[in-house]
Every structure is written in structure tokens, then in C-alpha cells.
Amino acid sequence: MSTATRRTPAATSKRRILIVDDELPMAEMLTDALAERGYDAVPMGSSLQAAKLLESEPFDALVTDLRMPQLDGLELLALSRRVTPDRPVIIMTAFSAVDSAVESIRRGAFHYLTKPFKIEELALFLERAFEDATLRRESRSLKRAIKDRWSLDKLVGQSESMRRTYELAERVAASNAPVLITGETGTGKGVLARAIHAESARAAGPFVTVNCAALPENLLESELFGHVKGAFTGASSHRVGLFEEAEHGTCFLDEIGELSLPLQAKLLGVLEHGVVRAVGSNREREIDVRVIAATHRDLRARVTAGAFREDLMYRLEVVTIELPALRQRRQDIPVLLEHFLAAAKSRHPDSPVQRFGDDAIKRLLEHSWPGNVRELEHLVERAVLLGRAAEVALAELPVSLEHKPDTGIQFGNTVLPLREMQRRYVAWAFAQLGERKLLTAEKLGIDDKTFAKWLARTPDHG
């Protein structure tokens, strides 16, 4: 029976299935039964002719007998997977050949049916096969989309330190090991975490971000682990935690150094045993989640101060990636500037700004960048929004970028009291970090009240 006699113009949009059996009446019977269920089925009694059709015509699925002269079902399966890897294949077999049918599953068949079987069984497994193929295509498409947007090759920077960072991130992406990303605020830790996720086998899974410094302890515990109804006042229903929402994906714990000690203990359980327990529950649930953490703090100093668990630190730093500060890779500023300018122009196409002037770029290269890459990105956004000419001039840069030629600590020729040395050092650090009080206090390891007191001290004269 020719292909042309079985196909009609109206059937071209239907699922097209090639049915192969050396007993042609069997193939034709299945064809008629599937046609009644809306399929465009083509019967074939010769496995050699079936092989030629598989190579020359499109089919959505192959249903083939296992034992046939010339080419058997396993050979047709191999041919089908070579020509169209995603095409589902269902094997038909006699009971005595079940072992060979099981082998077909190992080689990539979707399912096998033992003769005699009901047509409803075949129709059911065909629908399941098509659903599975659709999910696989969508998963690949999603992975490609994620990789196109977030992959490591989308990160900007050509300096030696950034090349080392990319190389390490690429190597660790393929594993499920926890990763700790360190670096100053604004260096791009979150962007790097997303890129590692996009390069991993979990790319099609969720990427869930948790800022550990943004919520108080009681709310953060519920956010991370979920809660059961009645666990606390206001818990009127069961809530799934963010770890469970990240199932088969990645949970990014930003500012991990701010996590309280009780929550650190619960996080250790996630990393060691792969389980979570909702607030108010006495049951643990297994999860499959990769953890990437980030911090701008020195975790070892936090451990020494008793603010961070040493065992958790060791668990998190299986692989540590340190992102350099922007002032440590100034050669990347021009390429970052170009990247952020193009992105800002796409968001604000009516802006006349096309470039930064030479004097403005020189000032950008001299700036200490206490806010790192994030500060540069915001500066470019501001310039594109407010610019009135094609070129951003030096005078249009923010006041915070005013050149301070004298950035050293001045002592003169006099031996100074320690209090005055302390005051001058604090003032110097304050200027170096863009006059940002909280950041300077943090870098100096003091609280904001102590910082204000030291900075306000009257200079000693003696």
C-alpha cells in the first residue's frame, strides 16, 4: 500500500506515525484504528522500505515490530534516533522476546507493547510519548534562552583576574557542589551566580534568590523552609518555602554572612542531608537543590567572632570564587562602559547620548569605585537619562566623582598622638570609600556610632 493512498490534504496537520510490521495486515489494522482516533498513520510491511521512508519523509513517531527479516526493530530504532533523535519509538513484541524489548528501552525506545495488546494501550502511550517529546523540546528551548541571557560568556571583563574567575566558574558549573562567591558590594556576585546556574545541568530548573539581610529572622525562616497551618499567629494555611520552590534548580543565598545562628544550623541540614523541615512541622522533606551563597563579609572573621558556624563555612566554601573590586581591574572599565551604555540606550532610545568624552573617561578610570560595577552601571544610566548631547562631558559626571588628588594620609614632621592618627585614618578611609558612612564603618570593623564619634573628634595639637 502506497503512502499516497493513506494521506489526505486534511491530515497533514495530524500526528504522522509510521507503523512497521512484516505482517502487513497487522500494520494496516493498527493504521485504521489510529486513523479513527485522529492520527495520520502509514502502514509498512517491509523494514527496508520503512528505513528509506524514515530517512526521506517526516514522521512524528515510529511504531515497529521487534523481530522482522532484513532489518529488525532495534536497527530501525537506531536509524530513527540517528535521523531524528527526538522522535518517539514504540516497540511491538511477542511475549517470548521481552528481554530484547527491554534492551530497546535501554537504547532509547519510549515504550514496548507485548502482543496482543489493545489499541487503547497504543494510543495512550503515543500521547504520553508526544507529551514527553514536547517537554524535552521546551526544556532545551528554555535552557538555550537562559544560556543566551545569563551564560558566562555574557559576563563583561577581559582582565586577567576576571578570566581566572570565568574559568573557575565554568569548571564548577557542571557539578552540584555548593559555591561561595565573595567580593565587595556591587561586584556582581548575583550575576555570576545566575551564570553558573545557566551553565549547569539545572539551567531549566528554577533560580531562586534569597537576600538573607532583607528579612528578620522569624520571617526569613518561614520564607526559606515554609510553614504549616497554625505554626504561628497568622499562619492560616500551609506555605511552601523557597528551598522547595527551587526543587531541581538553584537557591542563591545572598548576604549569607547575615544569617542568624539558628538558621545557620537549619541550612547545615539542607547541605548535609538534603532535607528541609517547615516551621511547625515534625516531618522532614527531601529536596534536590544546589546552593550558591554570596557574601561581602570575611566569614572566617565572623567565625572567630562567634557570629558564624565554622562547620557551615566549610560546607559552603567547597569552591570559593572571589570577585575582584572594580578598582582592582580598571582595564575593564572601558568595556564595561560600552556594555552599560548599549544596555541603557536600548531602554532609553530617545536619549541623544552616544559616547563618553575623553576627559570623562579619564576621570572614570581615576575614580576609586567604592560601589564597584553597580556604581558604574547606575552612573551610565544617569548619564543616558539626563544627557542632552551625543557626548557626555566631564562636567556632567556626578559630584561624587570629583577628582581628589591628595588621597594619602598626611602626617607632616610631627609625632602625632594615637587618637589623632586614628581620626586621620578614619577620615582617609571615609574619603576613599566615596564618603559612605555605613560602608566605611563596616570596612573598619566598627559600628556606625563609633565611626561617627571617631570622625567627629577635634584634631589634637601639641
Of 24-28, 76-80, 218-222, 359-363, the range with the lowest mean pLDDT is 218-222
User: What is the predicted pLDDT for the residue at 158?
Assistant: 83
Q: CA 55 to CA 360: how far, in whole Å?
A: 62
Gap between the Cα atoms of 97 and 220, Å rounded: 57
Residue 147 has pLDDT above 70, yes or no: no
Q: Which of 293, 296, 298, 323 is nearest to 168 (CA)?
A: 323
Neighbours of 19 (CB within 10 A): 28
Residues 6+ apart with CB under 8 A from 35: 41
For residues 428 and 330, the model is more confident at 330
Q: Percentage of residues in the chain with pLDDT exceeding 70?
A: 87
- Of the CA atoms within 13 Å of residue 219, those in its CB half-sphere come to 7
Q: 109 or 424: whose pLDDT is higher?
A: 109
* Pair 212, 311: CB distance under 8 Å: no
What letter does residue 232 receive in the DSSP assignment?
A: S
**DSSP for residue 117:** -
Mean pLDDT of the chain: 85
- CA–CA dist 298, 276 (Å, integer): 27
pLDDT at 316: 93
Residues near 435 by Cβ (< 8 Å), separated by ≥ 6?
400
Question: Position of cell 588621597?
Answer: 407
Model confidence at 7, pLDDT cuts 50, 70, 90, reads very low
Q: What single-letter DSSP state applies at residue 177? A: -
Residue 115: pLDDT band (50, 70, 90) is confident
**Count of helix runs (H) and strand runs (E) in the chain:** 19, 16
The contacts of residue 317 (CB under 8 Å, 6+ apart) are 178, 180, 299
Q: State the Cα–Cα distance between residues 267 and 8, nearest whole angstrom.
A: 61
Banded model confidence at residue 97, pLDDT cuts 50, 70, 90:
low
| C-alpha 266, offset from chain centre | 24
Tens digits of per-residue pLDDT, 306-337?
999 999 999 998 899 999 999 889 999 999 99
Task: Kindly report which listed range (76-80, 280-284, 317-321, 361-365) carries the lowest average pLDDT score.
Answer: 280-284
Using one digit for the tens of pLDDT, what is the confidence trace for 10-20? 333 689 999 99
Amino acid at 94: A
Residue 234 in contact with residue 287, Cβ under 8 Å? no
Domains in the chain, start-ordered, CATH in brackets? Answer: 3-138 (3.40.50.2300), 151-324 (3.40.50.300), 327-401 (1.10.8.60), 405-462 (1.10.10.60)
Q: What are phi and psi of 96, to 5 degrees?
A: -70, -15
The model carries a pTM of: 0.61
- H helices of 151-298, where? 160-173, 189-199, 217-225, 242-245, 261-273
Mean pLDDT of 440-449: 81
Backbone phi and psi for residue 115, each to the nearest 5 degrees, phi listed first = -70, 145
Residue 320's H or E segment, with its range, is strand 319-322
pLDDT bucket at 132, cuts 50 / 70 / 90: confident
Any bridge partners for residue 356, and if so which? 392
Q: What is the DSSP string of 20-60?
A: E-SSHHHHHHHHHHHHTTT-EEEEES-HHHHHHHHHHS--S
- What's the pLDDT at 332? 92
Q: What is the pLDDT of residue 238?
A: 78
As a whole number of angstroms, the distance between CA 88 and CA 124 comes to: 13
Question: Which amino acid is present at 63?
Answer: V
Tell me what pLDDT residue 102 has. 78
State residue 11's pLDDT score: 37
What pLDDT, on the 0 to 100 scale, is given for residue 6? 41
Sorting pLDDT into bands at 50, 70 and 90, what band is 214?
Answer: confident
Q: Point out which residues pair with 391 in neighbouring strands.
A: 355
Report d(CA 411, CA 428) in Å as an integer.
12
Per DSSP, helices labelled H in 107-216 are: 119-150, 160-173, 189-199
